[in-house]
Amino acid sequence: MDINNLKPIPKYIENQDKKYYRQACGNTRFYSYLTRWQKELIKITVAVKQFKGARYYKQVAVHGLHSPVCFAKDIDCYIIGGYVVCWYSEGLQKYPKSYADDKWYTYKDKYFDPYAPCVNLNYVLKIPEFKYCAINGYNQTSIFKYLRCYEKYPQAEYLIKLGLPNLADKRTILALLKKDKAFRRWIIKNKDICNLQYNNASSIIHAYKTGNTFEESRKFIERKSKLYLTKKYECDYSPIKKLFRGEALERFFAYIDEQKINYGLYLDYLNACNDLQLDMSLSKNAFPHDFMRWHDIRIDECASKRAQIDERKRKELYKKFAVTADKFLPLQNFLNEKYAVFIAKSPAELINEGNTLHHCVGKMGYDEKMARGETLIFFVRRLTAPDKPFITMEYSVYGKNVLQCYGNKNTKPNNNVLDFVNNCWLPFANEQLKSLRLSKAA
């Protein structure tokens, strides 16, 4: 595209806009129109502003159907405020903006494409290759996204005529329609359910391939997304993702539901099995019948193996652990009328806590993670028995959130304890952590 050959907005296009928007609007709004430019279908975005009874129009963006770049002028985008346009050259603003100099600049095609209803959508139908594209049934403003899909997958027209415009630009759906006749028959049969907004492309394809209900497929996709989209400061579930793929992931979800466990408990078990070099392709290892029993057995075996490290490394671990505990000591100084919080001061305390409460905090490398400052372990105690293990917490310094909170045998604490942890201690700890960082910076 040669931006120097851009023609002014045609009068009939302006009249079309006035037809749709008869009432004045003081804010800047956008509309778009289609035209041809050197045999290329282009979309021109126009900004409109009403000022003192007059309407002002400005071409602010140009996108080409097959162009990897777009052009933009006197327009910028902010994360919170959205798209803004400078009207200095029209005399509507007193001072020019930093992004506005009345010149066209090139950007990647995905940028500077605001919500801008097209006022001459039927123009597409005049182009022979798009004569039957059913563009009028497409309920999105991303016209080019649909047309690009239609060029590769003419089945997009089929979906629009079925009343499924929300799926007409989903390439995974279109690719399956193209090669699988059975899927075409299935989607006709289930078109009413497919049209529901919460059934996305992934859940629809999953329901078709597995024979599951839409509800089951949607829940599976949601759980899979949560497992795969963990943040950097949360637990690393990559060993689980590596072990369970495809249909095995469905079996894994069903298994943890049956055993009433969470990702964190299984991850500890899996790490222990990997350290022991067990074959996790065997069902008896991946899905033990009594999970908690085998969890404890593998954790103990792994702890025995790790106990063989030499004394020098052990002393170094204790020293680093003590430094971390001392550094974050201010986070523990919190109590109310029932509970108090203490930070773990040595690996020995973790071992005692784990042995007393029958969980793996003293065995699965939490001492090494805390020595490195990756995570912190705190003990919640009753004020009536401050020396007796009660609840164990894992706190993320990077995420400033509680990763795990368990009592005896990995049981979930009652609501009173959870309320104390999440609504009393956690805000206090985050504020203390902020003060520590500020004092370090000073």
pLDDT digits (tens, 9 = 90+) for 162-176: 888 889 999 999 999
Average pLDDT on 274-300 reads: 93
Span 385-391, mean pLDDT? 93
Which residues touch 85 (CB under 8 Å, ≥6 apart)? 28, 47, 49, 58, 60, 74, 75
For range 123-149, the mean pLDDT: 89
User: Buried b vs exposed e over 294-320: b needs ≥16 C-beta within 10 Å?
Assistant: bbbebbebbbeeeeeeeeeeeeebeeb
The torsion angle over the Cα atoms of residues 140, 145, 150 and 156, rounded to 10 degrees, is -40
Kindly state the tokens that stand for 103. Answer: 């010149």
Q: Give the pLDDT confidence score for residue 259 in this predicted structure.
A: 93
Give residue for tokens 């078109």: 191
pLDDT tens by residue, 310-345: 667 888 889 999 999 999 999 987 778 899 999 999
Q: What is the arithmetic mean of pLDDT over 111-131? A: 92
Contact yes or no for 105/132 (Cβ under 8 A): no
Mean pLDDT of 390-419: 93
Identify the pLDDT of residue 285: 95
Model-level pTM?
0.64
Q: Which of 81-85, 420-424, 428-432 has the lowest mean pLDDT?
A: 81-85
Identify the band that residue 81 occupies on the pLDDT scale cut at 50, 70 and 90: confident
User: In this predicted model, what pLDDT tens digit does every residue of 182-236 receive, in sequence order?
Assistant: 999 999 999 888 877 667 888 999 999 989 888 888 889 888 888 887 666 667 8
- Work out the average pLDDT over 93-104: 86
Query: To 10 degrees, the CA torsion angle through 421, 422, 425, 428?
Result: 170
Distance of CA 440 to the CA centre of its chain: 32
Compute the distance between CA of residue 269 and CA of residue 235 in angstroms, rounded to an integer. 14
Give the Cα separation of 431 and 436 in Å (integer): 9
| Residue 315: predicted pLDDT | 85
pLDDT at 105 over 90: yes
The yes-or-no verdict on residue 306 having pLDDT over 60 is: yes
Say whether pLDDT at 301 is over 70.
Answer: yes
Name the average pLDDT for the chain. Answer: 88
- pLDDT score of 4 more than 80: no
- Token readout for 100 is 């506005």
Angle formed by the axes of helices 214-228 and 201-210, nearest 10°: 120
- The pLDDT assigned to 421 comes to 94
Identify the top-confidence range among 1-5, 117-121, 330-334: 117-121
Q: Is the pLDDT of residue 442 over 60?
A: no
The pLDDT assigned to 440 comes to 60
Residue 266's pLDDT is: 93
Least confident interval from 7-16, 190-199, 235-244, 258-267: 190-199
pLDDT at 438: 67
Query: Among residues of the chain, what percentage have pLDDT more than 90?
Result: 56
